[in-house]
Amino acid sequence: MPWLGMMPPRNGYIPMEGMAAMIFGLPPSTRTLLRRNVLLGLMSLTSTGCVLRRRLAERKVKQLGSVDPAQHREMSLSANAPYVIEPPDSLEVRIRPDTIGAIPSSVTVQADGVIDLGFAGRIYVAGLQLDQAESVIAQKLSLFAKKQKMTLDEPIEVNIRLDESKSKFFYVLGKGVQQARFAVTGRETVLDAIMQSQVKSNAILEKTYLVRPHPQGMPDQIMAVDWIAIRDRGETMTNYQIFPGDRLVIPGGPDPGLVETLFGSR
């Protein structure tokens, strides 16, 4: 069969010139290794390009808020404000004297803000502090005892203990984190919140900020967080104390591509 002006094949191979001849003239194992190295090089270049694009995009994310040295923070924590009862908090109610009747010792604040004291009735306690709720329940039980014509040896006293707080949370938001809410125990800081969160690989922690809720018409409270200072220098100025309702926002850059996910960023 004619080879259209080319040299006829020798030993079953078509003769080649230049780089092609060098590559295809190599043993099969060497060619496989060469192909793998070329592929890895191309993927590395692609990964580097993805990282550069992501870093350029990160620079466009603005740092919101400003540093507020007047805020409570690590090494200068404060006690939270008096606890306000809200649904679905769990309360332990102790009443004296015992002759008042069968009153549940453990109650849950229902969605409508009331607690059920059995035969003594339902009492609205949402929005009250614990001592305020004690006074309201004592008044309600005194009326109940009078209506039932009970003879009591001593005045009614009520003691309420917070059995479990289920209504006080802070929130971690933003593209750079798995958004979630966490219960407030009273001593959380920005660092605690970040350590509890599932931070993503595209997180821009350097531009984290804290937002505090405020009444309608009042100025916004947005506090910048210096993550590098907190992490690397142990600086506490922006490691603010977190209070119920606070929002910690962690911005994020573009989501990493497949190559960057496999090989990591540089």
pLDDT band at 129 (very low <50, low <70, confident <90, very high): very high
What's the token pair of residue 8?
A: 């006829």
Give the model's pLDDT for residue 38: 62
List alpha helices for 25-126, DSSP H.
Answer: 28-59
Q: In the predicted model, is pLDDT for residue 162 greater than 60?
A: yes
34 falls in which pLDDT band (50, 70, 90)?
Answer: low
pLDDT tens-digit map of 43-54: 555 555 555 666
Cα(198)–Cα(211) distance, rounded to whole angstroms?
Answer: 19
Least confident of 95-99, 130-134, 157-161, 201-205: 95-99
Position 167 scores a pLDDT of: 96
- pLDDT at residue number 253: 86
What's the pTM value of the predicted model, to 2 decimals?
0.73
Res 41: pLDDT = 62
Q: What is the pLDDT of residue 182?
A: 97
Strand extents, DSSP E, the chain: 90-96, 106-108, 114-116, 122-124, 157-164, 169-173, 180-183, 209-212, 221-224, 247-249
How many CA atoms lie less than 13 Å away from 244 in the CB half-sphere?
Answer: 17
Q: How far apart are CA 245 and CA 86, in angstroms?
A: 13
Q: What is the pLDDT of residue 99?
A: 78
**Confidence class for position 119, pLDDT limits 50, 70, 90:** confident
* Tokens linked to 127: 């929005």
> Is residue 3 scored above 80 in pLDDT?
no
- Quote the tokens at residue 88: 């679905």
- Please give the pLDDT value at position 249: 98
Average pLDDT over residues 228-247: 97
* CA-to-CA separations, 2 to 5, 7, 8, 9, 251, in angstroms, rounded: 8, 9, 8, 11, 68
Quote the pLDDT of residue 98: 80
CA torsion angle 245 246 250 255 (round to 10): 10
| Residue 266 pLDDT grade (very low, low, confident, very high; cuts 50, 70, 90) | very low
Give the position of tokens 């990591």.
Answer: 264
| Residue 110 reports pLDDT greater than 90 | yes
Q: What is the pLDDT of residue 101?
A: 72
- Rounded-to-integer distance, Cα 169 and Cα 95, Å: 30
Q: What is the overall mean pLDDT for the chain?
A: 84
Give the model's confidence band at 260: pLDDT under 50 very low, under 70 low, under 90 confident, else very high.
low
Mean pLDDT of 175-195: 95
In percent, the amount of the chain with pLDDT more than 70 equals 74
Q: Residue 16: pLDDT above 60?
A: no
Domains of the chain listed by start with CATH number: 62-80+168-250 (3.10.560.10), 90-164 (3.30.1950.10)
pLDDT tens-digit map of 195-219: 999 999 999 999 999 999 999 999 9
